[in-house]
Amino acid sequence: MPPSTVVIGVDSSTQSTKAAFVDAATGRLLAVGRAPHEVTGEAGARESDPQVWWQALGEAVAAGLRESGVRASAVTGIAVAGQQHGLVVLDGAGRPLRPALLWNDTRSAPQAAALTAALGGPAAWTARTGSVPVASMTAAKWQWLRENEPYAAESAAAVRLPHDFLTERLAGVAATDPGDASGTCWYSTATGAYDAELLGLVGLDEKLLPTVAPTGATRIGSLTRAAAERLGLPAGIAVAAGTGDNMAAAVGLGLGGAGLLDHPVLSLGTSGTVFAATRTRPASPALAGFAAADGGYLPLACTLNCTLAVDKVAALLGLNRDDAVPGGEAVLLPYLDGERTPDLPAASGLLTGLRHDTTPQQLLGAAYEGAAVTVLRALDEVLRACGLDPADSEVASRPLRLIGGGARGRTWVETVRRLSGRPLLIPETTELVALGAAALAAGAASGQDAVTVATGWHAGSGTELPPLNRDWATWARVTSALDDLTGRFSA
């Protein structure tokens, strides 16, 4: 029997758009429509045309309608979760003035460093925004635009994040949420509002920015007639404020609100991300101290080099990704695109510890280990930001929720088990960002708390794996090399 009410959760990521059609009553995933994006750029540049995101959203929704067999009239709400930090500048008609600068565009590293110094250093930034400017943050990208393409900055009639741009296309309303706004470095997690002094520092008029809704599940408007005709959906359905992709994944897992707090998550995707939902406002210079989509906080660390970097090493060696074995004495830090955590935008890969008997399979294993240790070391800082001691036995026994594409890979799972010494929980669903967005849509349509909705859907349940004895020898080798590399590129 077809569901009586359906919600759509959109995951607009760096590489593609996914539109998840979800039974609002049970959380059953009915279909996922997909459409690709195009990313261009070299030498640190990463850009996409925002119009392609809108086109891809339409294609993904159309595919989801076909695959699910759902009647369009059953759809009651839609929400977008988007890649964080990207800079979209629009003209007075709402058209992009140039391609969007994406989160992994590292050209703005000098501007990030200059902004950090201009306010008085990392502590001054974390006290206000929860985060220190790095190349990925929107404020640094806006400053890069002002310095390198002043005409585009001066001509901007609106400044948006990727998910804001799509939400505005849906509802005709310029709105964002605290979660995604907190990744800009001009929104204060201390006050819950845009920071006038920081906007002045980067020369940005607040009138160009979207209104910040109380939560990502807030209904900010209704699907316009034009958007409804474009998507084949009923006009007037609820449009939620939406949020950033990491915040949506937390909602999908049932973290925050009345759900789980201070339980860590490791996402293995193009980037490696660790986060936890908490009521403790984070203020660590080593982290992004984000707000969450539900009104709480989401301390997060992100590494640029994760599955994509390891796959590149596998390709260079002519191996399949699961041909790896432990690296032995070899250490490989696969920082192929610089790094974000630690903040080393100019870094390159490091290989050390080679012997005559080192095998290609060990080199690939060393790449896995280098990427895993980098993100796991950041996990300890996330736990401290939650007010927890990573070495405490109770904290260490909490399952590490492993999500993202890497969570489906045998070698990734075993490497994380070996190097973390933690029990793992691998959710069954692979579409947590889209499901989290769907829960936001359900909240907007019904007035329910989105985390409570997602908890009832049981999207975070899955396979549990017991801990392994931690491989401290490998941990010590990799962290020593990481410290050396950090010293070299920080000097």
Summarize pLDDT for 265-304 with one digit per residue, the tens.
Answer: 999 988 899 999 999 998 888 889 999 999 899 999 989 8
- Mean pLDDT of the residues in the chain: 94
Confidence tier at 194 by pLDDT (50, 70, 90): very high
At 33-79, the pLDDT tens digits run 999 999 999 888 999 999 999 999 999 999 999 999 999 999 999 99
> What is the percent of the chain with per-residue pLDDT over 90, rounded to a whole number?
84
In this predicted structure, the answer to whether residue 263 has a pLDDT above a threshold of 90 is no
Which pTM does this prediction carry?
0.90
CA angle 32, 38, 40 (to 5 degrees): 155
Q: How far apart are CA 22 and CA 126, in angstroms?
A: 38
Position of tokens 């895993």? 372
The DSSP result for 156-212, as a single string, is: -SEEE-HHHHHHHHHHS--EE-HHHHTTSSSEETTTTEE-HHHHHHTT--GGGSPEE
Q: Nearest-CA neighbor of 51 among 67, 37, 30, 70? A: 37
Catalytic residue among 11, 23, 164, 245: 245
**Residues 280 and 298: beta-carbon distance below 8 Å:** no
How much is the pLDDT for 1?
65
Give the pair of three-digit tokens for residue 5.
């009410």
The DSSP result for 295-308, as a single string, is: SSEEEEEEES-SHH
Q: How far apart are CA 146 and CA 103, in angstroms?
A: 17
How much is the pLDDT for 459?
87
Q: Is 245 a catalytic residue?
A: yes
At 75-94, the pLDDT tens digits run 999 999 999 999 999 999 99
Q: How far apart are CA 488 and CA 491, in angstroms?
A: 6
Mean pLDDT value of segment 354-362: 96
How much is the pLDDT for 339?
85
* Residue 317 parent element (H or E): helix 307-317
Q: How far apart are CA 423 and CA 466, in angstroms?
A: 5
Q: Nearest-CA neighbor of 133 among 89, 71, 198, 191? A: 198
Q: How far apart are CA 309 and CA 336, in angstroms?
A: 6
Q: Which fold has domain 6-247?
A: Nucleotidyltransferase; domain 5 (3.30.420)
Q: Nearest-CA neighbor of 99 among 15, 183, 175, 40? A: 40
Q: How far apart are CA 357 and CA 254, in angstroms?
A: 47
**Residues 32 and 64: beta-carbon distance below 8 Å:** yes
At 82-135, the pLDDT tens digits run 999 999 999 999 999 999 999 989 999 999 999 999 999 999 999 999 999 999
Q: How far apart are CA 75 and CA 223, in angstroms?
A: 11
**Residues 38 and 16: beta-carbon distance below 8 Å:** no
Give the pair of three-digit tokens for residue 32.
């996922």
Listed by start position, the domains of the chain span 6-247
Q: How far apart are CA 330 and CA 474, in angstroms?
A: 9
End-to-end Cα spacing for the chain: 64
**Residues 145 and 89: beta-carbon distance below 8 Å:** yes
